[in-house]
Structure formats: C-alpha cells, structure tokens
Structure 1
Amino acid sequence: MDDKFASLEKYNFWNGNVPELGFTRKDYTDKIFDYTGNKLIKVLVGQRRAGKSYILRQIAHRLISEGVNPKNIFYINKEFTDFDFIGNYKDLRTLLNLYKDKLQPSGKVYLFIDEIQNVEGWEHFVNSHSQDYVDSYEIFISGSNSKMLSGELATLLSGRYVNFEILPFSFNEYVGITNATVSKQSYIDYMESGALPELFVLPNVETKRNYISAIKDTVLLRDIIQRHNIKDPKLLEDIFVYLVNNAANLVSITNIVNFFKSNKRKTTYDTLSNYIGFIEDTFLVHKVERYDIRGKDTISGNCKYYINDLSFKNYLYPGFGYGIGYKLENLIYLELRRAGYEVYVGAMRDKEVDFVAKKGDRVIYLQSTYLMADEQTAKREYAPLEAIQDNYEKFVVSLDDISLPSNEGIKHIQAWNLGAIL
C-alpha cells in the first residue's frame, strides 16, 4: 500500500509539489471553469498527446490558486506505468480510500482521472462518486476515444456530464508558445510544423518525426488493433496513410475500396468502413459530411476527411503530392471546430462551398484558397458564395499579402486573422 500511495504522492499537488503544467491553454481552462462548482462530470476527449493531461493539471492548479486545499486534489494518469496496479474501478476505489485515510481531506474532493478508458468498468466509479451525497466529489476525466461516452454509458450518465473536445494548439496558441508575431510567415511556419504540445520541447526535425511516428503507432496498436482485434493491421495503417494524403478531398468508401483493389489489396466495403470508423474514434481524422445549402440537409455518399494535426502529413508522409491549399483548408476546418462550430462541406447544384459552419443561430460560409493571384482565380473562388441566396455571412480565406475589399458582401480574411472573426 505504501508503494501505491507513493505513486499517488509523486504526481499530485501536495506538500508544495507542482506537477508540470505546460503552456497555459486559457481558452479551454476558462470554458471548463464555467462548469465548475457543481456535480456535472467534466469530460475532456481528444487525440492522444493533444494536451488533455496538461489541461487537467492546469485546472487543478487554478482551483488551488483560488483557495482549494491542494490535499483536496486527487490526480492520476492511467498512461503512467506507476498506476498499472489500477486495473478496474474497484482498484481505483481502493486507491481513493487509501488517499482519504492518509490525508483526511476536509470538504469537497476534486477527482482528476486522466485516460480513464484504461480503467475497466470506470463508468461505475464515475457514476457512483458523482452522485455521492454523503461525501462531496467533483469529477474531471479524460479519454482518447470518441465512443467513450456512447451507448449504455451515455444513458447512465445522461444529462450529468459536459463534454470538451481538446484539439492541438491553435495558431494563436502557437504564436504564444513560440513568441512569434502574428504574420503570414508565422502562419506558414505553423502550417509546415505541427501543433501537438510536446513538439515544442523537442530539439530537431528527426526527434519530432520519431515522436509523431510513435504516437501514430501507439494509437493504431493500443487504441484500435488490440481493442478491436484487427485482423489486418497493415491495411489499417495503409488506410490511415490514404486519409492523410487525401485530406480535404471529396472521397467515398467505394472510391477507397476501388483504390485498394487497383493496388491488388483484397478488402471489402464493410471492412474499410469499420477501419475508418475506428480511426475516427481515436480523433486522428475527422469526417465532414456534405450539406445541401438549398435543401438544408446532409447528403449521403461523398464526404471529406481532415487530419487532427498536420504533423502526421509534415513529418511522416511529406513526399506525396499535397498542396499548401489543402493544408490551409485543413487548418481552417480545425479552427472552426475549436470555435465550437458544426462543420459541413457545402453543396449547391454544380458548385461546392468549402465550409458551411453553424453555431447556435450563426451560420457562415467559407471558401479556402491559397492565393487569389489574378482576377480569374478571385472570380472562381467568389462564384460559389455569390450563388447562395440567403443573407448569412460569407468569407474567402487565403494567404494573400494584402486584405482585399469586400465584394458583394463577401469578406476576404487573411488566414492568420481568421480566429478574430469566429
């Protein structure tokens, strides 16, 4: 028991200890803090290494700075081998009881459990302690699978949790951590690197490439292959490579099946669909449906996939043809998601609008283009937006050096200023 308590003590805020906090992600911590002081379970989800652990520790540290006794914080990270002895929710409950016996915390205890999906039956622990009316708990958990709160668990915890998707660094956060100025060049540097927090403490391209490769291997092996008993691991990885190198392109499952068959790879529609679904569940890629702007409904069939972080493209598969325009479109998608929008690919007869984004009553249409180098290019990019008959906001986003005047109510935004209008 002493060894187990020593592991707990090592990673907690007791006795003046402050675990590594990383770069403060104020947008997330402010948003999550708005939901504190109640019995709602705060759930952070997102890709491995996107920064969930740092944010949990930042929230704990902020609670302490606002008067919470450090000994009322209980933090574990199931990614750490020191906590391998926690196999299921009963082990977790035993450790919590040990902590309470040793520290005798008075009042509400704040439970922070990182990568909780690695604790078998964790939902029983969370459900029980979130509703405990004898001892007071407030619970913050994180996980790396989008299905963590689906099915029976969603029913079990219905109405008693709030979900936050954690994405890699935004451009503004990139500027903050690198001390760069907001400019076209710093935006291109951001686009050509990656935005996972640990990348910013690694010394060179080679170590960054190895780090990104290790993340990819860990997610595919531990979160997909082992969990779903995948029969063809090589096919799974090849599908991931395909999605990375076709990000921002319209594709369908049938297209992908035909691609693999043309390369003499045996597969089926159902297998590919399942494998892509598993990859989506880990947040490595995001699927975006097409949306009929006139009919106001989604369209089945073709869709687009965007990568959760461009580091997978930049460090692992840079040799494939993939223009800067596609990377820009990928970054715009991620920025819209960070700002809380539901995002679709717009379709209207023979025209495509890159993004239809909705948040509450606000709807915006965006076209993404590398540069509007001449009048013909500008005309092509503005045309789909001009064809839309409603009065919602319309933007063209590009990397042009100068900001162009408004055209028929359509505004031009330089990509590095996009966050300001969302």
Structure 2
Amino acid sequence: MSERLKRIENYNFWNGNVPELGFQRIAYTDKVFSYVGNRLVKVLIGQRRVGKSYLLRQIAHRLIQSGVLPQNILYINKEFTAFDFLSDSRSLEELFLLYKSELKPVGKVYLLLDEIQNIDGWEHFVNSYSQDFTSEYEIFVTGSNSEMLSGELASLLSGRYVEFLVLPFGFTEYAELKKQTISKETYLKYLNEGGLPELFYLPGGDIQFNYISAVKDTILLRDIVQRYNIKDAKLLEDIFTYLVNNTSQLLSISNIVSYFASKNRKTNYETVSSYIGYIENAFLIHKAERYQIQGKETISGTAKYYMNDLSYQNLYPGFSSGAGYMLENAVYLELLRNGYKVYVGNLKNKDKEVDFVALRGNRVIYLQCAYLLSDEKTIEREYSALMEIKDNYEKVVVTLDDYSFPQREGIIHAQAWKLHEIL
C-alpha cells in the first residue's frame, strides 16, 4: 500500500478496522438513510464539535452493515493531520484515483468527506463525481459554515443535494447518555449544562468551563475571524456575548448599535449586521424572524436570537435571563432538531406575540413557553395569545409545571421534558 493510503488507513474501515463511532444518533442516521441510494449529495452542516464526524463514521458503518464492502468506502477528514497533504481539489482527486487504483473497489463507491470546506475547490470535485454517469458514486460531506452551500456550489448542483442540520445533543439524548430518567429534574440539569458531546466525558467545574470557552474561541477565530478577515475581533466576541445575554429577547440591529454606542464603542449598522451574520453562519447563534400569523409572511426589523447550545450561558457570570428564557431556547432547538422552520409569531393589530410558529410540511404548531403557570394571571397571559388565533392548527403551551393541565379551548399543555412526544 502506498505511503499516503497507509497514513489514512486507520481512519477508514478497510481490513476489518472500525474507527471510533461514538454515541449512536439513530434519528440522524435514519434521516440520512432515507435518502441513500441515489446521486443526491448528502450534506451535514452544523457547528464545530457537535458530532458531525462521528455521524459520518456511523453512516459508513451502517452502510457496511447493509452489505457495502469496506473497501468501497473512502473516508476523509481534513481536521486530522494525516490528511494535511490534501490542500485543493487536485490533491483530493489524486488521492481518490490512488485509492481506486490500489483498493480496486467494484461497484458503487461511497465518498465521505469531513470538514470539506478546508479543501480549496472542493465544489468542483463533488459536483464532478456526484454527476459522473460513467461510474456509480454516492457522496456525503460535512461542513461547519452555512455558506458552504451558497454561491457556486448551489449553482453547480442546482438542487441535486439534500441538507441536514446537526445540532448538539437534545434532551432525550442527554438523558440516555447520563443514564437518567426522562423527568423534570433531569431536564433542569440539561437546561444548565447543554448538549455539546465532549462535555459528557469531562469532569465538571473549570474543565468543562474551559472546554466550552475553547470551542467558542476556536469557532470565532477559525470560522469567522480568519475566514472573513475580521478587523475587530473584540467587537465580534462582544456581539456574541450580547446575543447570549439577550437570548429569547426581541432585538434589532439598531438597538444593538445603540447599546455599543452607549458603551463608547465605535461601530455602525453594517458592521454589526455583518458580524451577526458571520456568527449565524458558524452556527453559534440561530435567528428566528417574526412571522405575521394572519398574513402568513415574515416581518423585517426585529428578531430573536437563540444559542446553538445552552452551555454558552455558563461562560458569562453576569448571565441573568433565568430558567424561563433557557426553556424557550431549548424548545427552539428541539423544534429545529425535529425538522421545523421556526418563527416568532405576531398577531396583527394585537399587542401580543406567540413565542413560536413551527412549520414542517403541512403541519403548523403555535407554541408558548413559560417557566410555570403559577397563577390565573400567568395562565391568562400565556393562553390568551393562542386563543386569538382563529385557525385550527395545533396550539401548545410548554412549561416546567409538575402537573399537566387539561386542554383549554383546544390548547394542549406540554411539560417540557415530554415535548418530544408530540413533535
């Protein structure tokens, strides 16, 4: 075997080798496998360190279990130094041709390309082999920036790909990993600790804090500062801090500019808007736009921002949003995890907002989130906005109450730790 193939052999499944697979995320692999067997490029996107590489290896292992020969699978991960010789599409193609020459796979070849955005010109390689009608190839790629499918690749593939957003562990995964029951007590721990995969294998305290901080710093530096040639890295981090500390709050770019002006920080609308966009592209933050329920259209101006993982709250000692806002953030992520497009609901001519309008195919769910339905005034506040909506779509109030409330005018009450059962 050539020197280059020897360097990457341990990362592949050849000769009975099984690289580390990690916690099995069946919901994700099931979703991906529903698209296996065609030329569509399968694209897994998401923040660094949320487990995309493990998922890609789980997909490879599942292919082998379904009858694919190990030598018909080539796994490449640009995060590992063994693959440093891959710098552009030409070196990628040279490796691929070398692999085919030496391993001589017969039939369909499966290409699994991890953190593909680190290879210059990868778009042309993927486009060429995914559409090569002279041979059978099926391609899976991962990346840590949402822009990887914008621009040239989107034009090249023009709809010949399917995208999967990979998020940190959800509550049910958290409970399974922690060997805890599905309960309020476990859910409150989840709200505090978050779901970054590596956190489950680290002791608590400073070690976990340092890990979360390192993940955040790596993303800001490698995926934003270096990628976009950011001139004011301190402002970038301060904007991220501001968004974390104001998660679940309606914000506008103008408000944020005014906030920094009040702190004698020089900036402008365009810079703040761009920096927030970069933070979104790196999946540290998600933006939920306002949605006019009666008109079925989005509203520009203000929006809410949610953390990609709840653990980021622990980086800032002054964090004071509380469990209610963390609950709202967790519900938002759970909706994303279940494939919904999520908006902040607005009732026209009413001074009322609905926390979420969740859309998936023909299904529409309106959701309100509250810490506790502690008294009649709180119940009236949380239910009244949903009662104003006159259509017949599902309406849900999600809380941390110990007891489940009966339906009220068709509105379901869901305890947060059981929300997955109805999504």
Tell me which interval the TM-score lies in, with the shorter structure as reference length: over 0.9
How far residue 163 of structure 1 moved from its aligned partner, in angstroms, is 0.5
Equivalent position of 2:42 in the other structure = 42
SS at match of 2:18: coil
Kindly report which structure 2 residues correspond to 1:39-188, keeping only aligned pairs within 5 A, or say none. 39-188=39-188
Cα distance between partner residues in 2 of 1:384 and 1:134 = 58
Equivalent position of 1:292 in the other structure = 292
Cα distance between partner residues in 2 of 1:209 and 1:7 = 34
Equivalent position of 1:375 in the other structure = 376
Cα distance between partner residues in 2 of 1:69 and 1:182 = 39
| Corresponding letter in the other structure for 2:256 | I
Kindly report which structure 2 residues correspond to 1:237-256, keeping only aligned pairs within 5 A, or say none. 237-256=237-256
SS at match of 2:286: strand
SS at match of 1:180: coil
SS at match of 1:192: helix
| Corresponding letter in the other structure for 1:344 | Y
| Corresponding letter in the other structure for 1:49 | R
How far residue 95 of structure 1 moved from its aligned partner, in angstroms, is 0.9
SS at match of 2:354: strand
Equivalent position of 1:217 in the other structure = 217
Cα distance between partner residues in 2 of 1:164 and 1:296 = 25
How far residue 7 of structure 1 moved from its aligned partner, in angstroms, is 2.0
How far residue 4 of structure 1 moved from its aligned partner, in angstroms, is 2.0
How far residue 110 of structure 1 moved from its aligned partner, in angstroms, is 0.6
Deviates more, 1:92-101 or 1:2-11: 2-11
How far residue 3 of structure 1 moved from its aligned partner, in angstroms, is 3.6
Equivalent position of 2:416 in the other structure = 415
Equivalent position of 2:387 in the other structure = 386
How far residue 360 of structure 1 moved from its aligned partner, in angstroms, is 1.2
Equivalent position of 1:351 in the other structure = 352
| Corresponding letter in the other structure for 2:189 | D
How far residue 351 of structure 1 moved from its aligned partner, in angstroms, is 0.4
Equivalent position of 2:325 in the other structure = 326
Cα distance between partner residues in 2 of 1:294 and 1:68 = 51
Cα-to-partner distance string for 1:77-101 (whole Å, 9 max, x where unaligned): 1111221111101111111112122
Cα distance between partner residues in 2 of 1:301 and 1:201 = 41
SS at match of 2:345: strand
Cα distance between partner residues in 1 of 2:317 and 2:279 = 20
SS at match of 1:320: coil
Equivalent position of 2:236 in the other structure = 236
Cα distance between partner residues in 2 of 1:318 and 1:27 = 35
| Corresponding letter in the other structure for 1:369 | A
Cα distance between partner residues in 1 of 2:5 and 2:198 = 28
| Corresponding letter in the other structure for 2:225 | I
Cα distance between partner residues in 2 of 1:184 and 1:58 = 31
Cα distance between partner residues in 1 of 2:151 and 2:97 = 30
How far residue 152 of structure 1 moved from its aligned partner, in angstroms, is 2.2
Matched positions, count: 421
Deviates more, 1:287-296 or 1:1-10: 1-10
Equivalent position of 2:311 in the other structure = 311
Equivalent position of 2:334 in the other structure = 335
How far residue 203 of structure 1 moved from its aligned partner, in angstroms, is 2.2
Equivalent position of 1:206 in the other structure = 206
Structure 2 residues not aligned, in runs of 5+: none
How far residue 320 of structure 1 moved from its aligned partner, in angstroms, is 2.0
Cα-to-partner distance string for 1:254-296 (whole Å, 9 max, x where unaligned): 0000000000100000000000000000111011111111222
Deviates more, 1:354-363 or 1:396-405: 354-363
Identity of aligned residues (%): 64
Cα distance between partner residues in 2 of 1:291 and 1:366 = 13
SS at match of 2:250: coil
How far residue 155 of structure 1 moved from its aligned partner, in angstroms, is 1.2
Cα-to-partner distance string for 1:209-232 (whole Å, 9 max, x where unaligned): 111111111111111111111110
Cα distance between partner residues in 2 of 1:250 and 1:204 = 33
Kindly report which structure 2 residues correspond to 1:397-408, keeping only aligned pairs within 5 A, or say none. 397-408=398-409
Alignment RMSD, CA only? Answer: 1.1
Cα distance between partner residues in 2 of 1:358 and 1:318 = 35
SS at match of 2:219: helix
How far residue 342 of structure 1 moved from its aligned partner, in angstroms, is 1.0
SS at match of 2:221: helix
Moved over 6 A (4+): none
Cα distance between partner residues in 2 of 1:359 and 1:131 = 30
| Corresponding letter in the other structure for 2:333 | L
Structure 1 residues not aligned, in runs of 5+: none
| Corresponding letter in the other structure for 1:219 | I
Cα distance between partner residues in 1 of 2:133 and 2:377 = 67
Cα distance between partner residues in 2 of 1:153 and 1:113 = 15
SS at match of 1:264: coil
Cα-to-partner distance string for 1:162-196 (whole Å, 9 max, x where unaligned): 11011111111111211111000011111110201
Cα distance between partner residues in 2 of 1:182 and 1:308 = 22
SS at match of 1:255: helix
SS at match of 2:59: helix
SS at match of 1:188: helix
Cα distance between partner residues in 1 of 2:64 and 2:155 = 33
How far residue 134 of structure 1 moved from its aligned partner, in angstroms, is 2.5
